[in-house]
Every structure is written in structure tokens, then in C-alpha cells.
A and B are shown apart, each in its own frame.
Chain A
Amino acid sequence: MKCLVVDDESLARERLSRLLGQLEGCQVCGEASDGRQALARVQALAPELVLMDIRMPGMDGLEAARHLLKLDNPPAVVFTTAYGDHALEAFEAQAIDYLLKPIHPERLQQALDKARRLNLAQLENLEHESGVRTHLCARNRGNLELVPVEEIVYLQADQKYVTVRSASQKILVEDALKALEQEFGDRFIRIHRNALVAAGRIRALEKDSQGHGRVVLEGVEERLEVSRRLLPDVRRHIRNGA
């Protein structure tokens, strides 16, 4: 079985790799030091099992696992953690496997034996643990495309998908605009029934030839329409922010 070891601490990776190396039928195909790197390695190396630390800087383990589920053939995931108090209770309830560090070799063997795939329902139930995502993720021709939330300029809903636009990227995600608005709270403000823009990226407000208000956004060319109803809110925001 090909395994990927993910942990932000090099000693922890070293030990886990060593333990895995001693187990039969197990081969460590790579290591990663945070969630983002893990996603890239999973796509490049196609491991069957990912052993992943939960608490990591940048993108944590729970979030990385959520993004992994978008793959056609996601690897099984076993979480590792030093101490997570109530997170552990949630795991028990969800029957997701986790290992406590320092990891016992026997426990590791058991986890490998019953390594199984996570499903989205399990992870969503853990959402309060993983909290707000740091990246939005979409699948593009079998690959995962990630946009860091702090680089997003606007989110625009269109039928089934939401367009996530940053200065350099444009991806389509399946999340509902309303859910995104709730998840990221103050970071975005609503300017239209179908659009949220990053509060920090609004540069100006202008009128087009038909007299509709449009926002000028930092980093992108296109100007988005502001609905009449939300115009006062946007104006107030620009005044306070300036």
C-alpha cells in the first residue's frame, strides 16, 4: 500500500515514516508538510492512504481531507493528532480513524488494516472542528484547483455554480452562495442577489450608462453590478473603509 505522510513537524514525519517502513506491505511514497502540499502530492503520487496531522499551519488536515474528496478516486485518510480534546470525541462518533501521537506501532497496523475512505457526511459533521476553510477548491479535468480565500476578489452565483474569482484565477465551485456568505462572514459583502465581493478589494463605485451602480474591484477588470437595494450598504462600506 502506498502511503503519504503529512505533518508540519519534520521529526513527526520522520518517526511515522520509519514506523510505516517497518510494517509489511506498506511503502511510504512521499511526505508533505501542510494541507496544500498534501493535495499536490496526492495528485502527483496517487497514494492509497494518507496519514495526516490535524493541526497544521495554512491549510489544516481536516480541510485538506475535505478537498481530497473531490478527487475521482480519493485515498483513504487516517488522521494523526497529538492532542485534540473534543475533536477526538467527534472522530469517535464519526468512526473516522485517528492515531494519537506518539503513535504505537500496533495501533498503526490496526489503522492500516481497516483504512477506509472518508465520506463527505462524516467530514461535514466535523465541520465545526475544521471551522472556516482557508481555500476554495474545484476540480478541473481531474485535478484539484485551489484558490486561497484571502485572494478571492468576488464570488458570483450562476445557475448551478459559483464563480470564484481571484486576480489570477477563476474556478467554479458547487457551494451555495448563501453558505459561503455564512462561512466567511465579514470578509465578503453582498452587492447583489448573485454576488459577494471581498470587502477589502472594493476600490470605487460608479454608474454605468443605464444608471446602475457598479463596483470597481482591485485586481480584476470586470465591474460588478450593485443592486439598487444594496447600494446604500455598499456606499456606507466605502465611506467607512476609506
Chain B
Amino acid sequence: MTRTNRKNPSELSQDTLFLPSFCDIRLVFAVVVIAELLAFVLVLANGRADPWNDLGLVSLFMQWIALSSAAALCLARPLLLKISNTAAVLASYLLLLLVTVLVSELAWSMGGLEQGGAASGHVEFLFRNTTISAIVSGLVLRYLFVQHQWRQQIQAESQARVQALQARIRPHFLFNSMNSIAALTGSDPQRAELAVQDLSDLFRVTLRNASERIPLDEEIDVAKRYLRMESLRLGERLQVQWDIERLPRKRLVPSLILQPLLENAVYHGIEALPQGGRIAIRGAAEGRRISITVRNPRAPQGLASHRRGNHIALENIRLRLQLAFGNQAGVALREVDDEFETTLYFPREKAT
């Protein structure tokens, strides 16, 4: 488990500012090109007899605004990193408008920029520039934001997939199960056969697409198979109590959201205790929320060394739930007396 999960969980949320770094020279070049194209559009749209005459001046002005904007975003980046993305969108939008106003004002005071001819007064000049900037900045920020979200999603999905393949079934679990089966083929071939079936089903699930949705029913079935495998080797030490009557069985959920919780409960709780213990799974559907709670006894303090892996698995589940259901879904942790409690929650209706 720890082998495949050396990655810090915070890496997922680190550097998630939607804006790319405008300090990067390649991006600055892109800004220059886009500003130039925009200058072309403006000059052509003006419909005057000799558009090329204006181009030089308009380009100069556009580049001025564009480069100042890029510089402003580059400088503001450390500050923007500290606030939420929504706030960052708003802040950078206002920053861009401010840069436009300032540069326009400066250009006006230097004179010689009344491309509109005599008709264009100071206020009108400012207003026109600000409006153009408002529209263009809005479009650019919107584009960057959507692209960022898309990239985030791809990253999360691929990470979830890699984890589903590598981490979900711990090698430790696989080889111990194989060993149990080897033991059973001699003493109890029927149970060995059953175990091979269960193990195959579990592996089939881990090979599925991580973004695939399955009915809750099926996820519970996977979880039950998993626990059956574990009780094969842990015997009396593993007690399981299911209380899931209230769960809507047809609700679609991402696959492998419950099984990892149980795996953690076994690995960190039951297995670490000589006398074993009980895992209690309780499902609830209250109001518009579905929750599934897994409770397990806590291992003694000395064995806390492999806790790290635990949190990464949970972070992964949280991410996948939120991808599927948005912010109304998540994972909550609680320590109650000698027990550890993990709760999954997500909305009852399919998010529209």
C-alpha cells in the first residue's frame, strides 16, 4: 500500500489556481500573439478606408495593455494562490479591468491616440476600452477556468484509476488470500473454490474503468465478497455487522467506494489486534442525503506507523465522490472511544 502511495495527498490540491503562470515566457508570447490578432480584428472592424494606417498605433496600444495585464497577473500570482478559485477569478477580472483603465488613462494623457477621430472624447475612449477589455478578459478567464477544471478532472480520474489498479487490492491481501486458498485446496476444496470465485470477482472490479458508475447494490456485493475473503484468513477474529436496510439499492455510485473503507478497517483495525474485533457497516438515507458508516476498533498506538496510507485512500474516495456528486458528497472521519469511524455521504438524487 505505502509503496504505491508515496504521493502526498495534498499534491492533489496543491497549485490548483486556474490561471497558468503568466511569468512563463511561452505564455507571454501567446499573449502577444493574441493581442496582435485582436488589434487586427479591431482595425478591420472599424471599417475605415485605410485600415493599415491605424494598425501600428492600435497594436502598440493593445500590446501595452496585454503585456501590462500579463505582468500584473504574474505579480499577483502569489496572492491569488492563497485565495479560493472563485475569488481568484473575480480578483483577476478586476485586476485586468484596472490595468486597462490605467493604461488607457496614461495613453490619453500622452495624447495622439484618438483613433476614433474627433468624435471620440476622453470619457468615451475610456468607456470603449473598458468595455472591450471586460468582454475579452471575461472570455479569456472563462476559457482558462473551464480548461483548468477539465484538466483537474482528467488528473483525478487517472489518479483514481491508477489507484484502483495498484492500491485498491493490497499485494499483502492478494498473497495472503492465495495462501489461504492453497491451504483450503487440501482441507476444504469447496471453500477453496468459493474463495477463488470471490477473489476473481474482486479483481474484475478493480480492472473496471474508475469513472464507471454502478448500483449501490453491486458495490455492497463487492464489499461482502471482500469481507468473506478476509474472514477466511482471519477466522473468528473478524466479526461483521451489516445494517444497510435503509439504503436505496439502485442508486448509482462510483465503483470501489465502500470496499477500500473496509480494507482499511481490516488492515489498520482488525489485523493489528490479536483478539480481532467487529466491523459495523451502517447505511442511512436521511432527508436528501445517503450515508454509509464503517466502524472498526482502533489498533494500539504503537502500530500507527502505517496510518499514512489510510488517509491517501480516503482522499482518493473523497475526490471521486465529489467528481461524481459535487460538493454535497464527501468522507468524514471520527474517533469515538476505542473505535474509528469513517462515513461516506452523497446526495440521494442523481445530481443534474
Query: CA–CA, A154 to B136, complex, Å?
Result: 72
Query: CA–CA, A85 to B309, complex, Å?
Result: 15
Given A9-B234, A82-B175, 18 extra CB contacts under 8 A: A9-B176, A11-B180, A11-B183, A12-B176, A15-B179, A15-B182, A18-B183, A18-B186, A57-B271, A57-B274, A57-B299, A82-B179, A83-B171, A83-B172, A85-B3, A85-B171, A101-B175, A102-B178
Query: Looking across the interface, which residue of chain A has its beta carbon closest to that of B300?
Result: A150
Contact present for B187 and A14 (CB under 8 Å) = yes
A9: contacting residue among B181, B233, B301, B302, CB under 8 A? B233
Closest 6 CB pairs of A and B: A15-B183, A82-B175, A11-B183, A102-B182, A101-B179, A83-B171
Query: Is A232 part of the contact surface with B, judged by Cβ < 8 Å?
Result: no
SS class of chain B's interface: helix, strand, loop or mixed? helix
**12 cross-chain CB contacts under 8 A:** A8-B271, A9-B179, A9-B233, A11-B179, A11-B235, A12-B183, A15-B182, A57-B273, A83-B170, A100-B175, A102-B179, A131-B305
Contact present for A101 and B305 (CB under 8 Å) = no
Contact present for B175 and A83 (CB under 8 Å) = yes
Contact present for B274 and A8 (CB under 8 Å) = yes
Query: Is B184 part of the contact surface with A, judged by Cβ < 8 Å?
Result: yes
Query: Is A94 part of the contact surface with B, judged by Cβ < 8 Å?
Result: no
Task: Report B-chain residues with C-beta under 8 Å of the C-beta of A100.
Answer: 175
Contact present for A58 and B274 (CB under 8 Å) = yes
Task: Report B-chain residues with C-beta under 8 Å of the C-beta of A15.
Answer: 179, 182-183, 186
Chain A CB within 10 Å — which of B182, B186, B301, B305 has the most? Answer: B182
Task: Report A-chain residues with C-beta under 8 Å of the C-beta of B271.
Answer: 8, 55, 57
Chain B CB within 10 Å — which of A8, A11, A12 has the most? Answer: A11
CB within 8 Å of B: which residues of A? 8-12, 14-15, 18, 33-34, 55, 57-58, 82-83, 85, 100-103, 131-132, 134, 149-150
Task: Report B-chain residues with C-beta under 8 Å of the C-beta of A149.
Answer: 302
Query: Is B244 part of the contact surface with A, judged by Cβ < 8 Å?
Result: no
